[in-house]
């Protein structure tokens, strides 16, 4: 890891199974960034607590996400890859930042509005202050850039507001982060409703391809994907289901939409779906193979989690100590 580089921070919630959307839209594009940035990637398990979790499944998911990061090509020696809850500074800074965030700001967050509508029986305070914890994640590492999808830009904006407010009172404590504008990943839509994004919290398992789905499941889900009754091979907004299948196919093969339309000219949708499933299977096979290997080596992952938590703590604690000193908390150590 090169300490002279700018700092990049990102992460994913350890909730549910990662989808092909998470991979093509985010994870895949993170690989290789370590050559240019000092990269920190968190498995955001504290954020997952805003929804009730089954403890053993939750623990397994967090570990699995760690393995998926590594299997996707994020080297835990060149990047800092860690569990959010293993660095206590996150929760501590989040509390402090809560006191520098206005209720009115949090009420405007669209994710809060969406998620509280979805989980009307559990609109907890954590769901409300979720963006503050996210701000703490980013600001602890003095991140310059944060790769996030469109849906998270509002959270990055509030992070910037909190950082600027804090700096305005205490001097330059935090780096004010920018969204990472790099290679843009594919936006993958639901296989069952192409107007919605493919999402790991979708209740219909046929809507998403999960990274660890076996080849037969992938073939079945592709076969069932919603298309249209036009029976025309074209890449256009009027045929959103087919367009989504082509987008996924392009992301998996590196081909352009024009090439793909040409390739399938005169074919039926069944042939498109068949080729698509084989392309997806080919992309996921090496990742799945690597996850299987990692699953066999318990001590390797344990060791990665431990050493990377220490590396993350070192950086995070430096910022936290500075913050505490600035606001007048006593350092007794």
26 binds ligand ATP (CB under 6 A): yes
Collapsed DSSP state (helix, strand, coil) of residue 258: helix
CA angle centred on 227, ends 193 and 208, rounded to 5°: 45
CB atoms within 10 A of CB 251: 21
| Residue recorded with tokens 């080849």 | 215
Instruction: Please choose, out of 20-28, 133-141, 315-323, 324-332, the segment that lies near ligand ATP by the rule CB under 6 A.
Output: 20-28
Say whether 78 is catalytic: no
Query: What's the distance, CA 84 to chain centroid?
Result: 13
Residue 80: which of ligand LTN, ligand ATP, none does it interact with, CB under 5 to 8 A by kind? none
Residue 19 binds to ligand ATP (criterion: CB under 6 A): yes
Nearer to ligand ATP (CB atom), residue 184 or residue 285:
184
Q: Which is nearer to ligand ATP, 198 or 320 (CB)?
A: 198
Residues that bind ligand LTN (CB under 6 A): 9-13, 44, 47, 134, 137-138, 146, 148, 152, 155
Q: Does 22 bind ligand ATP (CB under 6 A)?
A: yes
Residue that is written with structure tokens 């839209």 in the block: 25
Instruction: Spot the catalytic one: 197, 221, 243, 273.
Output: 197
The residue among 198 and 225 lying less far from ligand LTN, judged by its C-beta, is 198
Task: Say which of 6, 78, 200, 326 is annotated catalytic.
Answer: 200
Minimum distance, C-beta of residue 189 to ligand ATP, in the bound complex (Å) = 7
- Tally of CA atoms within 13 A in the half-sphere of 303 that contains its CB: 6
Q: Is 197 considered catalytic here? A: yes
The H or E element spanning position 145 is: strand 145-146
Residue from 5, 78, 119, 200 touching ligand ATP (CB under 6 A): that is 200
Output 13 or 227, the one with its CB closest to ligand LTN. Answer: 13
Question: Active-site residue 183, yes or no?
Answer: no
CB 316 within 8 A of CB 90: yes
Closest separation in Å from C-beta 15 to ligand ATP: 5
Task: Confirm or reject binding of residue 8 to ligand ATP (CB under 6 A).
Answer: no
- Tokens coding 271: 């042939």
Cβ atoms of 72 and 28 closer than 8 Å? yes
- Mark residues 134-173: x for contact with ligand ATP by CB under 6 A, - for none: --------------xx------------------------
How would you classify the pairing of strands 6-13 and 37-44? parallel
Closest CA to 265 of 228, 230, 232: 232
Structure tokens at 280: 């997806």
DSSP 236: S
Q: Are strands 37-44 and 80-83 parallel, antiparallel or unpaired?
A: parallel
Residues in touch with ligand ATP (CB under 6 A): 12-13, 15-16, 19, 21-22, 25-26, 148-149, 185, 187-188, 197-201
Catalytic residues: 115, 197, 200
């Amino acid at each position: 890891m090169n300490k002279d580089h700018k700092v990049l921070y990102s992460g994913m919630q350890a909730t549910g199974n990662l989808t092909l959307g998470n991979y093509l839209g985010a994870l895949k594009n993170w690989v290789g960034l370590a050559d240019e940035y000092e990269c920190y990637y968190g498995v955001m398990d504290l954020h997952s607590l805003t929804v009730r979790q089954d403890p053993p499944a939750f623990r397994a998911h967090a570990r699995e996400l760690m393995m998926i990061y590594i299997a996707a090509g994020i080297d835990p020696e060149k990047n800092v890859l860690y569990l959010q809850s293993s660095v206590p500074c996150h929760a501590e800074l989040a509390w402090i930042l809560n006191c520098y965030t206005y209720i009115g700001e949090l009420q405007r967050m669209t994710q809060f509005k969406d998620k509280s509508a979805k989980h009307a029986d559990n609109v907890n305070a954590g769901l409300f202050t979720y963006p503050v914890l996210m701000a703490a994640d980013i600001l602890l590492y003095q991140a310059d850039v944060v790769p996030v999808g469109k849906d998270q830009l509002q959270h990055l904006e509030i992070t910037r507001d909190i950082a600027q407010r804090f700096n305005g009172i205490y001097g330059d404590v935090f780096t004010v982060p920018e969204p990472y504008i790099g290679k843009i990943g594919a936006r993958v839509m639901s296989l069952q409703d192409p107007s919605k994004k493919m999402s790991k919290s979708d209740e219909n398992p046929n809507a998403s391809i999960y990274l660890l789905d076996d080849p037969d499941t992938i073939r079945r889900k592709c076969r069932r994907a919603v298309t249209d009754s036009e029976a025309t091979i074209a890449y256009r907004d009027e045929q959103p289901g087919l367009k989504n299948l082509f987008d996924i196919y392009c992301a998996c093969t590196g081909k352009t939409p024009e090439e793909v339309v040409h390739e399938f000219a005169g074919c039926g949708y069944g042939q498109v779906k068949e080729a698509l499933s084989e392309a997806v299977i080919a992309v996921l096979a090496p990742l799945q193979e690597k996850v299987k290997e990692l699953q066999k080596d318990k001590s390797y992952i344990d060791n990665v989690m431990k050493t990377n938590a220490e590396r993350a703590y070192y950086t995070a604690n430096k910022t936290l100590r500075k913050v505490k000193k600035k606001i007048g908390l006593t350092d007794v150590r």
